[in-house]
Amino acid sequence: MQGISPVAGLDEAGRGPLAGPVVAAAVIFPSERSIPNLRDSKQLTPRMREAVFEAIRASGALVGIGIAGVAEIDRHNILGATKLAWGRAVASLGTTPALVLVDGNVRAPLSVPQVTLVKGDRLCASIAAASVVAKVTRDRLMVDLDLREPRYGFARHKGYATPQHLEALRRWGPTPMHRRAFLPPGILPLSGR
């Protein structure tokens, strides 16, 4: 956006999995930056995402991260929790943006001007950067969760409903990091977990 500064891109990762938080990121670039391979995180391999993440950090960009946990997802639904994460990400930037560009068609609960952009992570560098930061941050959280709960394979599937994850749920039931509202029929929460 010409003449408006600073502009933050805003995106999130983890709206669809059965387990783990939803993570949002807001990114403000200090000036026009050219970061190799910067695009929607879904178009990058894990190794490429990590490299782009490090390049974003090295660029001098302001990065804010917001997380909404499993209890908030179950309490507010995924859209409500996503909005909480968006607000936290923008608040953690350390500065108030003049404009926020939000990926998708839903406005964030912010008091600053904003524009929603469908497929914004493919159209706007700061949204693409936010997409990568959110995805890498969430993936790292899921790898950490895998160390605590290795039977479920979180490091591989990041909480999504893969056959391996569904089998683990049938065998051992959900952990506290599973979203109760997202569990498939027949998977009952274990008492005391």
pLDDT tops 60 at residue 190: no
Q: Does any domain span residue 113?
A: yes
The number of domains in the chain is 1
Range of the domain at 120: 7-150
Residue pLDDT, tens place only, 53-73: 999 999 999 999 999 999 999
Reduce the DSSP state of residue 55 to 3 states and report it: helix
Q: In this structure, is residue 70 part of a structural domain?
A: yes
Please give the DSSP secondary-structure letter assigned to residue 19.
B
**Does some domain include residue 129?**
yes
The first and second tokens of residue 180, run together, are 């109760």
| Chain segment 82-124, per-residue pLDDT in tens | 999 999 999 999 999 999 999 999 999 999 999 999 998 888 9
Q: What is the CATH number of the domain that holds 75?
A: 3.30.420.10
Q: Is residue 162 part of a domain?
A: no
Give whole-number Cα distances, 63 to 10, 56, 78, 143, 151, in Å: 10, 9, 23, 21, 33
Model confidence, pTM? 0.92
**Residue 160 forms part of a structural domain:** no
Give the closest residue to 27 by CA, choosing from 53, 1, 46: 53
Q: Kindly state whether residue 55 falls inside one of the protein's structural domains.
A: yes
Q: Does residue 141 lie in a domain region?
A: yes
Contact predicate 192/85, CB 8 Å = no
Q: Which amino acid makes up residue 110? A: L
Is residue 2, in this structure, part of any structural domain at all? no
Q: Is 99 left (phi over 0), alpha (psi -120 to 50) or beta?
A: beta
